[in-house]
């Protein structure tokens, strides 16, 4: 039995982390559109965050931070 997280756990962890960053920066009602796409295949994590929200804070910067945080959350998941 493997102690490694399943692919589904990895994807869910990354998506939740990314959404958490976005909604820590913006009220949910202020976000016009949010699309978090996460894939994890053959040990490779790919996170893409599209965010349409008010200009303060900069939505591109928040999207980048969300993607980075998703990667960090997955790193922590594998370190457990």
Q: What is the pLDDT of residues 47-77, one digit of tens each?
A: 999 999 999 999 999 999 999 999 999 999 9
Task: Read off the pLDDT band of 2 (50, 70, 90).
Answer: low
3 or 8: which leads in pLDDT:
8
Residue 3: which pLDDT band, with cuts at 50, 70 and 90?
A: confident
Q: How far apart are CA 48 and CA 36, in angstroms?
A: 6
Q: What angle do CA 61, 67, 69 make, to 5 degrees?
A: 100
pLDDT in tens, 5-30: 999 999 999 999 999 999 999 999 99
> What pLDDT was estimated at residue 1?
47
CB-CB contact of 30 with 53 (8 Å): yes
């Amino acid at each position: 039995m493997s102690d490694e997280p399943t692919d589904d756990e990895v994807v869910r962890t990354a998506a939740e982390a990314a959404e958490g960053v976005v909604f820590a920066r913006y009220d949910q009602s202020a976000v016009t559109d949010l699309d978090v796409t996460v894939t994890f295949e053959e040990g490779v994590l790919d996170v893409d965050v599209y965010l349409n929200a008010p200009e303060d804070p900069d939505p591109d910067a928040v999207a980048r931070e969300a993607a980075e945080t998703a990667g960090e959350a997955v790193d922590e998941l594998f370190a457990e």
